[in-house]
Structure formats: structure tokens, C-alpha cells
Amino acid sequence: MERAKRMMSSDQLKAFNVSLEPDAVRKEYGNTPFGRGCLAARRLLEAGVRCVEVTLGGWDSHANNHEITTRLKQTLDPAFATLVRDLRARDLLKDTVVVCLGEFGRTPLVNPLGGRDHWPHNFAAAIAGSGIRGGVAVGESDPAGGKTSKDTQAVANLHATILKALGIDHEKTLRGPLGRTIPRSEGTPIAALV
């Protein structure tokens, strides 16, 4: 209870008050819950918070995919780009990894309802910061809708890449409270990115 009380009275809570930012900065991130969330994320990182998650739901586009993703991109793109640019300008990007991804891939081909269905064979992620090589595309799905991909990377490799970029030993094995060994990652960092 004491730790909860300390947190509730912490000066770090001011990081959530994005109205303290100039209008121009708030406008760049976008006047949306996601845009304000990305701005709060930057403020939380400045306040010393080590891990922040901002979510943008609604991507399950089994019908009308083009309309749905067009609308969502109008929210995602400016906020994500501004967050990366703002972190770089404030010299925070060198110590921060920014990851943008969904929880599931979408079919390469559009279905009869104009949608894209679940596709566990591949998905996309954007990653920046902390020494991650910029402007690099790794992997490629089959535009004809096949299940094979070029330069396939396991999700564990993405995890290992993030850990390595943050200076965390991705090969270390941890021991749980009951003595069970737990690998920090079962992947290998993606060489093209680190």
C-alpha cells in the first residue's frame, strides 16, 4: 500500500497531463486517444518510466479493409512518426526501442467482402531506436497469397533483437521461484537490424 501511495502522489503523474504541452506539439501527435497516448508515452519516458504501451484497436478488418485501415492510418501514422521524431530530437531514441505491431497477420489477398482475414503465416512490425538500423525491410510475404515468405523471422528473433538493442543479454537463462529455468529469449537477433 505504501508503494501505491507513493506512486499516486508522485511528480511523475504530471507526465499524463499532455495539456501542459504546447498546442503545436499536441497537434502533431493528433487529437485522438492514440495520439495523446503517444505524447504521454514520450512524457513518461522523460520522467524515467522504463516501459510504456499505447494501443490502437480496430484492425480486425474482415470486411471493408481499405476503409478501415485508411481511417486507422490517419490516427497511427502521424502519432507514431511524431513519437519517433520527438524522441530523436530530445536525444531519447538512442536509449529507447519503439515497436509498432499487431497481434496477428492479415491475408495478402482481399476476401469477397473487401476484407482481409486472419493470417498466422506472417505479420509486419516496425521497430526503431536504440541502435536499430533504420530504413531496412526484412522479410517479404507472397503477394499472390501463398503461405511461404522470403527471409522468414520467428517472433522469438524479434524479441531477441529488441533485447539486444536495449543492451539486455538475450541468451541469459533465468530461474523462476520454483527453480524452473526460463530462457529470456529463444531467438537470435536479426543481423540486418542490429
Per residue in 30-43, pLDDT tens? 999 999 999 999 99
Least confident of 19-23, 27-31, 117-121, 188-192: 117-121
User: What pLDDT score was predicted for residue 30?
Assistant: 97
Tell me if 137 is assigned to some domain: yes
Tell me if 142 is assigned to some domain: yes
pTM of whole model > 0.85? yes
pLDDT reading at 170 higher than 80? yes
The single-letter code of the amino acid at 105 is G
179 torsion bin: left (phi>0), alpha (psi -120 to 50), beta (else): left
pLDDT reading at 144 higher than 90? no
Q: Can you tell me the mean pLDDT for 46-62? A: 94
Decide which of 5 and 29 is more confident. Answer: 29
Decide which of 140 and 133 is more confident. Answer: 133
Report H helices in 90-186.
Answer: 155-165
User: What pLDDT score was predicted for residue 122?
Assistant: 83
pLDDT reading at 99 higher than 80? yes
User: What pLDDT score was predicted for residue 8?
Assistant: 78
Structural domains of the chain, count: 1
Least confident of 110-124, 137-151, 157-171: 137-151
> Mean pLDDT score of the chain, rounded to an integer?
93
Q: What is d(CA 121, CA 194) in angstroms, rounded to the nearest whole number?
A: 24
Q: What is d(CA 98, CA 87) in angstroms, rounded to the nearest whole number?
A: 10
Tell me if 16 is assigned to some domain: yes
Tell me if 187 is assigned to some domain: no
Q: Cβ–Cβ contacts within 10 Å for residue 82, how many? A: 19
pLDDT reading at 143 higher than 90? no
Is the distance from CB of 8 to CB of 17 less than 8 angstroms? no
Q: What percent of the chain has pLDDT over 70?
A: 100
Reading the block at residue 30, the C-alpha cell is: 493528433
Decide which of 81 and 103 is more confident. Answer: 81
Question: Of 71, 65, 43, 150, whose CA–CA distance to 109 is shortest?
Answer: 65
Reading the block at residue 153, the C-alpha cell is: 523471422
State the residue range of the domain holding 8.
2-154
Q: What is d(CA 145, CA 161) in angstroms, rounded to the nearest whole number?
A: 28
Tell me if 190 is assigned to some domain: no
DSSP state of 103: S
Which residues 6+ apart lie within 8 Å of 194 measured at CB? 131, 132, 133, 161, 164, 165
Tell me if 94 is assigned to some domain: yes
Q: Can you tell me the mean pLDDT for 79-96? A: 97
Give Cα 47 distance to the centre of its chain: 20
Tell me if 63 is assigned to some domain: yes
Tell me if 162 is assigned to some domain: no
